[in-house]
Amino acid sequence: MEIKMKKGKEIICILMAAIMLVSVFAAMVGSVGAHSVGGEYNIIDGEIAIDAESTITVERVTVTVTVTGVAGDEIAVKADPCDGAKFIDGVDDTPTNAGCMFTDTIDSDGIRKYAVEFYDTGTYTLRATIEGGLRDGSYDTVDITVLEKVVVFDMPKIAIIGERITVKGAANSGTYVSVWIDDTLFAPMRNLVLDPEDGEFSKEVTTTDVGMFVPGIVGLKAWIDADQYAGGEPPLRNPDGDTKVLILEPWLTASISTDSVDQGGDFIVSGSAPGSNAVWIVCVPPNGGGGNALTEERTGITMDKASVSTTDNTFTKKLTVQKDATSGYYDIFVLSPGMDWIWDMTGQADLEAALNQKYHISSLTCEGGSSICIKTQDEIVAIFEDLTQSAGSDDLMQMLPLIVGTADRLILNPIADVVVGNQVNVSGETSRNDGAIIWITLKSEDQMLAVVITIAMGSAFNVTFDTTGFLPGTYAVRAYDEYGYTVATSVHIVETPAS
């Protein structure tokens, strides 16, 4: 019996030792805790873990952080460094007044979610630590790298007043971008939506609608998700991107495809007009407003319109000379109302309405007794020069000569610069017979200075003008013959001869 009793005690001791080993092993297994793989959490009692939805982010973007552990454990959550990090009060499970650190209790499901934002670049370590109990001091960390918010503009560096431009670029985060132009947020530049695929934004505007109506350099500054109202102040923080654009006044160039054309033939007027959406082509007959029109079977001036391309600012217009057009020299005007789309300061966007308001020309035809019928070619030239070049006007004009049919020849030779006090010699040629009368005029910018009549001999003519008392500048010289043909040139009167 004693031997049997002794063996029973040994067996009991062995079983108790085995139970103790199993308990230790279970405790060790329990310490494995909770792990996250691919966003799915497998909770094992005993450990704390912290994970972030993204470990790379940008400034001022909310990141969701998930802490897993044992229900009822008190935990402390802290961002390091503290400066530049802030947990967002009331979002998900984030407590109020969290700042960059707070304490919380893990609830029954073993999962807590918090929202955090970063206001400076760098790498931040978020730490979740158990406070109190058997697991006091246990912790886990996750590192989050914060990059700078960036907006990169992709647009031309030069724009023309009145033209349409596309403000575009891309951002590395956010939902939308707002662009302040010279510190003003115009309505079309507010909350430009970012493409969710590549972060690009784009908005086509007219320069004059977004403050670009004065020549010079303007600054564009962009903020991501600023959510300001139109006209609101820009954010106090540095912009997420900026660029500069040089704003230029509109200009106009024009050319004609041929110097001469027969009745029934075609010619093309083309050019460029940055800042304009259209140009007007006005054709003035040799005999003025009462002559046969160039492109329509009637008398008077003809007017055609050509659209300006929005891609390269060019225009082109093909015109056909009507069969009864008068042979001779035509003045072809290419006109633009400029960046305000108003002719001179008449308030009129319609050219004929502007001519009627300012010069009482009711029509460009002779119908209805319009005063255009009695205007000479030279008088009509003066009207369009005054309309487009008077002080305060931003209108633009180019004048091109065109010979139609077998035109009689009237030529002015080039005139060299003349020193004040010396004589201007004006010479030319005509196809008229000997004895033909030629009128020569000399005009400053604002007044007629001299009119001389000469007689052509041997197809040539020659006159002189005294410049005593003239101011230095450019003077217009024009010749007329008795059949209504005219030609013009200019002379530069200078103070001292060129060296």
3-class DSSP assignment, residue 201: strand
- Contact partners, residue 152, CB within 8 Å, separation at least 6: 169, 170, 171, 241
pLDDT of 31 reads 39
**pLDDT at 499 (0 to 100):** 59
Cβ–Cβ < 8 Å for 62, 91: yes
CA distances from 100 to 84, 219, 396 (A): 8, 36, 63
DSSP H or E run through 247: strand 241-248
Environment class of residue 211 by beta-carbon count within 10 Å: exposed (0-12), middle (13-18) or buried (19+)?
A: middle
Q: What are phi and psi of 209, to 5 degrees?
A: -85, -10
Q: Which residue numbers in the chain have pLDDT < 50?
A: 1-45
At which residue do the structure tokens 């935990």 appear?
A: 75
Q: How many CB atoms lie within 10 A of CB 457?
A: 11
Neighbouring C-beta atoms of residue 109, cutoff 10 Å: 10
pLDDT of residue 43: 42
CATH class of 35-147: mainly beta
Whether the CB-CB separation of 166 and 253 falls below 8 Å is answered with: no
For the domain spanning 253-404, the CATH number is 2.60.40.1930
Task: Name the amino acid, one letter, at 495.
Answer: E
Q: How many residues does the chain have?
A: 499
Nearest to 187 by CA among 154, 238, 232, 239: 232
Question: Which residue, among 398, 397, 403, has the nearest Cα to 258 in the 3D structure?
Answer: 403
Query: Whole-angstrom Cα distance, residue 170 to residue 72?
Result: 46
Burial class (CB in 10 A: 0-12, 13-18, 19+), 214: exposed
Residue 182, Cβ density class (10 Å: 0-12 exposed, 13-18 middle, ≥19 buried) = middle
CATH tag, 410-494: 2.60.40.10
pLDDT, residue 407, reads 58
Q: What is the pTM of this model?
A: 0.54
Ramachandran class of 384: left when φ > 0, alpha when ψ lies in -120 to 50, beta otherwise? alpha
Residue 394 is encoded by which pair of tokens?
């931003």
Please state, in angstroms and rounded to a whole number, the distance separating the CA atoms of residues 172 and 164: 27
Residue 480 pairs with which residues in a beta bridge?
A: 439, 486
pLDDT of residue 35: 40
Q: How many of the other CB atoms lie within 10 Å of CB of 89?
A: 13
Contact 302, 263 (CB under 8 A): no
Q: Which residue has the tokens 């093309």?
A: 268
- The matching CATH number, chosen from 2.60.40.1480, 3.40.190.10, 2.60.40.10, 3.90.226.10, for 151-248 is 2.60.40.10
Pair of tokens at residue 175: 């939902």
Please say whether the beta carbons of 130 and 73 come within 8 A: yes
* Under 8 Å between Cβ of 48 and 73: yes
pLDDT of residue 498: 64
